[in-house]
Structure 1
Amino acid sequence: MRFSSHAALGLLAASITNALPAPQDDTPPTISPSADDLETLAQLSQHAQEVTNSSLSTGKRQLGSCTLRNLSVRREWGTLSNPERKAYTDAVLCLQKKQSKTPSSLIPGAKSRFDDWIGTHINQTTTIHYTGTFLAWHRYFTWEYEQALRNECGYKGTQPYWDWSKTAKTGHEKSPIFDGSEFSMSGNGELDDNKGDIMLGGQGLPEFPIPAGNGGGCVTSGPFKSMSVNLGPVQLSLPGGKTESNGDGLAYNPRCLKRDLTNEVNRRFANATSVVRNILLPKDVYDFQMTMQGYPGTNDIGIHGGGHFTIGGDPGRDLFTSPGDPIFYLHHSMIDRVWWMWQSLDVKKRTSAEGIAGTGTFMNQPPSPDTTLDTEINLGFAAGSPKTMRDLMSTTAGPFCYIYI
């Protein structure tokens, strides 16, 4: 797909490489868009790297203790070596074996440190989706999860990400992230013959179907073939238009991890063109995050929903309990990467108060105050001290010091 020159505003020239000087301001040159959206996406990533490097090397922004020397790099799963992949999944398994820090009186079903993150997400779901904190909350959540892997389980690497544009092109079966090997994030679930479309919408919005995948049952290969999902579901979408709930999802409800990997959903909602359009077309953060999550009533679930419903299964199709699948953190690292690339096209504006839109409740229901730079984010017993939005707007300010390649 090709874009107009106006839509392509913000792309790097294809000739820009690491060997050339970083741009001296945050406005990249206008070029004709690439015919290959994967290449366009690579250019956007390169630009974001150059902007970050320029900021850190020139010191034109006060970015705290983050420097080029201590800057960490998050990489796509497929670029990691087998030992690096196994080190990551070993750390996740370690977190699943450690005792929960959440009092059982608050979340009875939280049995492990891994469960602490799920419980926090369940409790805050309606205040962190379609809200002003959506992007920053998940940035902080994923970063603190990375710190837990490092500080509590000895992981030496950084949080990897899942580039949906790659699996949209190759399919999941041929992807190193889902091939089911010991160096993957585990594969698909067993085939479940109880199939039918997943129905989305409702509650006053038009219903529309998305297809189920070719799994649906318990995951039987890879590092997470024996893991237990202990919390939820709260609002789990099932094939055939059904839903499943276990009350508020906080009770102990152990079951196998299920997946229903769906190539068609990946190719429809989270392909390279979807990602590029989400970065290039929105000119304000409201449109950016609404496009990402999907404007209600448009039959488009955005790249955020596209990733979640590509995973499918239980807890993958449950907005509340979705961190119960370890792939969640690679998915949301890609969400954060897309935000980082979008922010790089106008850093001053998009990391300031102008880079926030929305209130503190899901689609402002019930009505609540606007989110501001002073709005506090608290991850409960999962990790970390409360932070304000102003601390979380840049990947190289506040507690953060990382980029993506």
Structure 2
Amino acid sequence: MRDLNCGSGYLASAPLSASERLAHVNAVKCLMNLPARTPASAAPGAKSRFDDFIVTHIQQTLSIHYSGIFQPWHRWYVYQHEKALRDECGYTGCQPYWDWPRYASAPQEVDLVGRNGEHKPHEGPIIVPPPGVLGNPIPLPAGLGSGPVTTGPFANMTVNLGPVSGLDITLPGCRLHRDLGAAMNARYANHTAILTLLTQPNVDNYCHVSEGAPYTPEIGPHGGIHYTIGGDPGGDLFTFPGDPAFWVHHGNIDRMWTIWQALRGPYAYATWANEPPSALASLCDVIDMGYAGDSTTIGEVMSITGGEFCCFYL
């Protein structure tokens, strides 16, 4: 994003220099070392400020995906995370985003997210619908890792929450695993896919292309990059923010929405694909950040060129 000389002027950029990447990584690690604000009574597994954001995502997963609030909720969520990096860890750099097509043939080389997991021969994962959500399991191709991350800035990182909606303490010694590989990125987030996304005529169509149709093979760029990263928690829809790669992926999710907004259905409701049936999402609906950060309304985050954001993507 470019500073518009109003508000705080937050920025987002890709690629970053080596020193900029290091500053961002250090700020993320700082957040991992700060104490959680989430009470132990609410989430015993939350041990850090980094975990606060995972708890918020876990608790709201089934209302913030395939719904009318997906884009604005995640815009505010990423902003609150960036704000925590700045206010609590002294970060002064940009909010990075993952330019998906740039690395479509080798996402394991994305320098914003650190290294892949150790390679272990394995079958690809199967996406299983969460409890209460209709759909068929979807088999996916295997990546090039699947083991723990043992090199790079997030080597031997501890995972405190999950799997799925679990808020209790994980088994001792759980580590970040990744399964980065080109198959999903090359199919769902290549240049053609992005052009298709940005030329959609209305918000319903845009959301269908971005998120895909629930539990069909067409999972869109959003799901495509989730499962490009794979592993644990990267392959877990509930706990994915526990992988630092989440934040640069969703930086680009918001960048795409911002570009689409500048260029010009069931996703208008307030629950996952309108199950259970719910009211239409409105500008007055609250975006609840729990203990992770400040809450706001959808109406307050519909534009990034004013208010607290005051920025634009380069």
TMscore range, shorter length: over 0.9
| 2:218 counterpart residue number | 300
What code does the residue aligned with 1:138 have? H
| 1:147 counterpart residue number | 83
| 2:206 counterpart residue number | 288
- Higher RCO structure (Cα 8 Å, ≥6 apart): 2
What code does the residue aligned with 1:232 have? G
Deviation digits for residues 349-401 of structure 1, max 9, x if unmatched? xxxxx9x95221111111111111111111000011x2111100011123211
| 1:172 counterpart residue number | 107
**Contact 2:138–2:216 under 8 Å retained in 1:** no
Distance, in Å, in 2 between the alignment partners of 1:205 and 1:381 is 32
| 1:360 counterpart residue number | 270
| 1:21 counterpart residue number | none
| 1:196 counterpart residue number | 123
Percent of paired sites with the same residue: 44
2:211 equivalent to 1:275: no
* Residue pairs, 1:79-118, within 5 angstroms: 79-118=15-54
**Contact 2:36–2:46 under 8 Å retained in 1:** yes
Distance, in Å, in 2 between the alignment partners of 1:287 and 1:123 is 27
| 1:63 counterpart residue number | none
Q: C-alpha displacement at 1:226, in angstroms? A: 2.4
**Contact 2:135–2:216 under 8 Å retained in 1:** no
Distance, in Å, in 2 between the alignment partners of 1:251 and 1:316 is 18
What code does the residue aligned with 1:75 have? S
Deviation digits for residues 93-141 of structure 1, max 9, x if unmatched? 0000000000000011000000000001000101100111100000000
The structure number with the bigger radius of gyration is 1
| 1:13 counterpart residue number | none
* Higher share in strand: 1
**Contact 2:176–2:232 under 8 Å retained in 1:** yes
**Aligned residue pair count:** 309
Distance, in Å, in 2 between the alignment partners of 1:108 and 1:380 is 15
**Contact 2:52–2:291 under 8 Å retained in 1:** yes
2:75 equivalent to 1:75: no
Distance, in Å, in 2 between the alignment partners of 1:204 and 1:156 is 44
What code does the residue aligned with 1:113 have? R
Cα distance change of structure 1 residues 70 and 144 upon mapping to structure 2, 3 Å threshold: closer
What code does the residue aligned with 2:151 have? S
Q: C-alpha displacement at 1:173, in angstroms? A: 4.3
Q: C-alpha displacement at 1:70, in angstroms? A: 5.7
**Contact 1:391–1:397 under 8 Å retained in 2:** no
| 2:142 counterpart residue number | 212
2:186 equivalent to 1:186: no
Q: C-alpha displacement at 1:273, in angstroms? A: 1.0
| 1:126 counterpart residue number | 62
Deviation digits for residues 240-269 of structure 1, max 9, x if unmatched? xxxxxxxx3100115100000021111011
Q: C-alpha displacement at 1:404, in angstroms? A: 1.3
TM-score (norm 2): 0.93
| 2:169 counterpart residue number | 252
**Contact 1:200–1:208 under 8 Å retained in 2:** yes
The residue matched to 1:219 in structure 2 has which SS? coil
**Contact 1:200–1:209 under 8 Å retained in 2:** yes
Deviation digits for residues 23-67 of structure 1, max 9, x if unmatched? xxxxxxxxxxxxxxxxxxxxxxxxxx8xx99xxxxxxxxxxxx64
What code does the residue aligned with 1:89 have? V
**Contact 1:262–1:309 under 8 Å retained in 2:** no
Distance, in Å, in 2 between the alignment partners of 1:102 and 1:69 is 29
Distance, in Å, in 2 between the alignment partners of 1:258 and 1:269 is 22
**Contact 1:233–1:249 under 8 Å retained in 2:** yes
TM-score (norm 1): 0.72
- 4+ runs of 1 displaced by more than 2 Å? 66-73, 172-177, 197-209
Q: C-alpha displacement at 1:187, in angstroms? A: 0.6
